[in-house]
Amino acid sequence: MTVRIRSDLFKEAMGRFATGVAVVTTVGPDGDRVGFTANAVASVSLDPLLVLVSVDQSSSSLDPLLETGFFALSFLHADDLEVAHRFASGERDTRFEGLKVRSEVTGAPILESALAWVDCTVWKVVEAGDHHVVFGEVQGCGVSSEGTPLLYFRGGFGTMSP
């Protein structure tokens, strides 16, 4: 039996689940840095070390990520609200302007302002509806700074204090 649920109701229900905010980055085959804001990110496994990120099939960042086979997650600090907006909807060519970045293991850009980072190679990709779930095998990770995380809740960004 198939249950039909309105997509707007589903979106509203899922919007009540607060998540962290990350910028997913890679370097395209042409050498250009590519990135997007994501909140559908999760730890998957400790053996092997795996994470996942859900990427819309229409994202201009999906092909470069799949072609290069590596990516980094930079978990955003509460002060990174402008960065979250920039990577969510800003011009692709100017997303990295003025930001301090470095690379660790794979060569994917890591945002210096991030609370923590994870550097991955693509382990597996699963098509799931209108998204691809990209599993990454962790090649490196670290904690960059202390502070308050940026959160996503009910369609907007916010913060919390522990």
pLDDT digits 0-9 by tens, 1-12: 677 888 888 888
Check if the beta carbon of residue 56 is closer than 8 Å to that of residue 65: no
DSSP annotation of 77: B
pTM: predicted TM-score of the whole model, two decimal places = 0.92
Contacts of residue 125, Cβ cutoff 8 Å, sequence gap at least 6? 66, 132, 133, 134, 135
Topology of 11-151 in CATH?
Pnp Oxidase; Chain A (2.30.110)
pLDDT score of 136: 98
Please choose, from the candidates 144, 130, 150, 117, the residue with its C-alpha nearest in 3D space to the C-alpha of residue 25: 117
Task: For 60-77, write each residue's pLDDT tens digit.
Answer: 999 999 999 999 999 999
Give, in degrees to the nearest 5, the angle at Cα 145 between 108 and 66: 20
Helix (H, G, I), strand (E, B) or coil at 157: strand
